[in-house]
Amino acid sequence: MNKFGIALFLLFFFFLQTACIEGDGPEENEIPISEDSYPGLSVSPTGQLLLNGEPFYGIGVNYFNAFTRTLEQGKENDKSYEIGFAYLKERDIPFIRFSLNGYWPKNWDLYKNNPDRFYKNLDTFVKTAEEYGIGLIPSFFWHNPTIPDLVGESVNQWGNVNSKTHEFMRKFTQEIVVRYRDSQAIWGWELGNEFNLLVDLPGNDSNLPPVVPSLGTPTNRTKEDKLSTSDLQVMLKSFANEIRKYDHSRIIISGNAIPRPAAWHLRQSRQWTADTKDQFIQMLGVQNIDPVDNLSVHIYPSASDEAYFSDGKEDIDGIVKACMDASRQLKKPLFVGEWGAQEVLYGSETPNKFVEILSSIEKNQVPLSAMWVFDYPPHDTEEGINVSPDNGKREYMLQQIKEANIRIKTIAEK
């Protein structure tokens, strides 16, 4: 081959290599997945929930501020969550759901101003969970308006993948997932808390997010701060796709509450008309859209008073059963991410209400659920629902969860 031929061959080889790199290599800023699968929870092709590859059923707790208490000024060295982990371990509570960062924009100050300290605190938190054998389900963006507020955009920019809101979401998500994806403590990843309750609400000047300027919100809200179902689906898909760049096995959770009793009609016409059971099941799929691979709901006893469903009112057990019907239809395991019974509502009947919903979770073989709430002092009196090492009168709740976990363990072993 002459020199001209050799030059042509080398040029062709160069372009071929370049094309392969551009077509198959990681996207800009993408960090390749280093494992075929990661520890924690995943979903089988048939919709079975798995823990480290084996069928799993279990009940945990919400430990809402276990980590965020370390973000408060002057409390960066707070490790009181270790007492909580030890307390939960003694009662065989397998996992917690918790907030990964602040509720209000102001509460993100440590991450923004001193990210090294933020991650030092989080590294210690995750390592402590590993030592106690406590699974973690971090909820990334607990309060929906907070990220748009941080970047100076209206809340509806959650529906725009090219917004600063999504840019911030992608950056923070990448940092967290890549840093902790090898940890045995991480069981799954959750977008935020009850975003579905904010969509399709009627009125331009009503049902707006709260305004607390001292905590970093704007001084006023407009209709641009309202969300639609399509906005919810955009944020869910974008978050899930970002997770899947770095972890293609752990569950991705919406963090949604149970759909509103009128969710289907609100989406269609902004009307508070009660939905049928079939419409309810349809909305569970709509509000937990792929690539989200499970159904998230939050269920409290008061749901039985809210007219679920227009074609036949159901009690709590009937509502849980309808959620499990949807789970089987969609092949997505159900996560009852919050449940419990408030003393401010039920007084002396609280233990019975607690057992009612716990029994329904067990009877319907809900694969994953988490009681609200553990070691969150504000809900001692506000809701009368907090369980903590300092609150012996509600210790029975954790004991009953422990006993239920022993019983439902046999389901996974069959």
- pLDDT in tens for each of the 414 residues of the chain? 544 444 444 444 433 343 333 333 334 455 777 677 889 999 999 999 999 999 999 999 999 999 999 999 999 999 999 999 999 999 999 999 999 999 999 999 999 999 999 999 999 999 999 999 999 999 999 999 999 999 999 999 999 999 999 999 999 999 999 999 999 999 999 999 999 999 999 999 999 999 999 999 999 999 999 999 999 999 999 999 999 999 999 999 999 999 999 999 999 999 999 999 999 999 999 999 999 999 999 999 999 999 899 999 999 999 999 999 999 999 999 999 999 999 999 999 999 999 999 999 999 999 999 999 999 999 998 899 999 988 778 999 999 999 999 999 887 677
* Domain residue limits at 253: 54-413
- When divided into structural domains, the chain yields a total of 1
Q: Number of helices (H) and strands (E), helices first, in the chain?
A: 14, 11
Check residue 216 and give left, alpha or beta (phi > 0: left; psi -120 to 50: alpha).
left
Is the residue at 32 inside a domain?
A: no
Is the residue at 305 inside a domain?
A: yes
DSSP state of 337: E
Is the residue at 15 inside a domain?
A: no
Is the residue at 19 inside a domain?
A: no
158, 148 Cβ separation under 8 angstroms: yes
| Chain center to CA of 143 | 11
310, 348 Cβ separation under 8 angstroms: no
Is the residue at 350 inside a domain?
A: yes
Assign residue 348 the CATH number of its domain: 3.20.20.80
266, 202 Cβ separation under 8 angstroms: yes
> Which residue's structure tokens are 């009953």?
400
Is the residue at 175 inside a domain?
A: yes
Is the residue at 24 inside a domain?
A: no
What does the radius of gyration of the chain's CA atoms come to, in whole angstroms? 23
Q: What does the alpha-carbon distance between residue 247 and residue 252 come to, in Å, rounded to a whole number?
A: 10
Is the residue at 108 inside a domain?
A: yes
The CB-based long-range contact list for 201-208 (8 Å cut-off, 24+ gap) reads: 201/226, 201/266, 201/270, 202/266, 202/270, 202/271, 202/272
Six token digits for residue 44: 């089988």
